[in-house]
């Protein structure tokens, strides 16, 4: 009986301006996922990360946001222009909505906070970045839910749902426009519709107009 061929290891570039971080990541991968991932290069700044990505064509880049010469978001945009473009996992200390959304808009395949990183989580997010998350947490929605899924105690709405309400209130954004704004079009219109239904249920309303009005009246979003 023939043995099933083992899938080739994914080639990985690590990009962080702190060498000890890259070395820690390398050790984690050697100990936990040597059969799945191979570190082919380490970069200490955004310019070097883009150059090495262009030269080596890795399957996955694990990259920090704050780096010298070129920040991680700018480097990410340059990497996504390449053919083929690598999958990119952003590993960052920033947990605010602005940084996470900037990364997703620029094309990040996943986002992991450094303070929440364990060897197991690192490998899980790397696998998800290169192969895609399970259907229940597909594409950009999965990244948004993972990174921005915290719930406001006052409203019960997630940060993603509040962002949808803001876009509808301030721009009159359609589902397609919301998809483009939140995930550069990778979130499907159907997913946006599902999120709207969650908003209706939580606010006790039946339409987008009623949802926006309720959110403004309750002080969840501004009217302007």
Using one digit for the tens of pLDDT, what is the confidence trace for 149-188? 544 545 677 777 888 888 888 888 888 888 777 765 556 6
| Encoded tokens for 90 | 């952003």
Tens of pLDDT, residues 52-110: 999 999 999 999 888 889 998 899 999 988 988 898 988 888 766 677 777 877 778 78
- Pinpoint the residues of the chain covered by CATH 1.10.10: 159-217
Label residue 220 by pLDDT band (50, 70, 90): confident
Tell me the helix, strand and coil percentages in the chain, rounded to 5. 55, 15, 35
Identify the CATH homologous superfamily for domain 10-134: Response regulator (3.40.50.2300)
- Pinpoint the residues of the chain covered by CATH 3.40.50.2300: 10-134
Say whether the peptide bond before residue 144 is cis (omega within 30 degrees of 0). no
Average pLDDT over residues 143-153: 50
- Please report the pLDDT score of residue 1 as a whole number: 46
13: closest CA among 34, 48, 31, 40? 40
Displacement of CA 41 from its chain's centroid (Å): 22
How confident is the prediction for the chain on average, in pLDDT? Answer: 79
- Please report the pLDDT score of residue 134 as a whole number: 43
Higher pLDDT, 129 or 77: 77
- Please report the pLDDT score of residue 169 as a whole number: 85
DSSP E strands: which ranges in 87-187? 87-92, 110-113
Report the CATH fold assignment for 159-217: Arc Repressor Mutant, subunit A (1.10.10)
């Amino acid at each position: 009986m023939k043995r099933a061929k083992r899938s080739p290891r994914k080639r990985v570039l690590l990009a962080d301006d702190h060498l000890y971080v890259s070395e820690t990541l390398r050790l984690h991968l050697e100990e936990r996922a040597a059969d799945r991932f191979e570190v082919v290069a380490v970069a200490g700044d955004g310019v070097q990360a883009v150059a090495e990505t262009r030269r080596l064509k890795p399957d996955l880049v694990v990259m920090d946001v704050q780096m010298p010469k070129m920040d991680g978001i700018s480097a990410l945009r340059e990497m996504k222009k390449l053919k083929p473009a690598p999958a990119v996992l952003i590993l960052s200390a920033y947990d605010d909505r602005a940084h996470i959304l900037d990364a997703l808009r620029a094309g990040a395949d996943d986002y992991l906070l450094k303070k929440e990183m364990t060897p197991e989580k690192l490998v899980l997010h790397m696998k998800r970045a290169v192969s895609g998350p399970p259907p229940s947490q597909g594409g950009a929605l999965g990244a948004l839910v993972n990174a921005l899924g915290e719930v406001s105690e006052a409203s019960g709405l997630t940060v993603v749902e509040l962002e949808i309400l803001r876009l509808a209130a301030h721009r009159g954004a359609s589902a397609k426009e919301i998809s483009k704004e939140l995930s550069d079009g990778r979130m499907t219109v159907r997913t946006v519709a599902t999120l709207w239904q969650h908003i209706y249920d939580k606010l006790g309303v039946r339409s987008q107009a009623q949802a926006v009005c309720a959110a403004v009246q309750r002080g969840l979003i501004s009217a302007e």
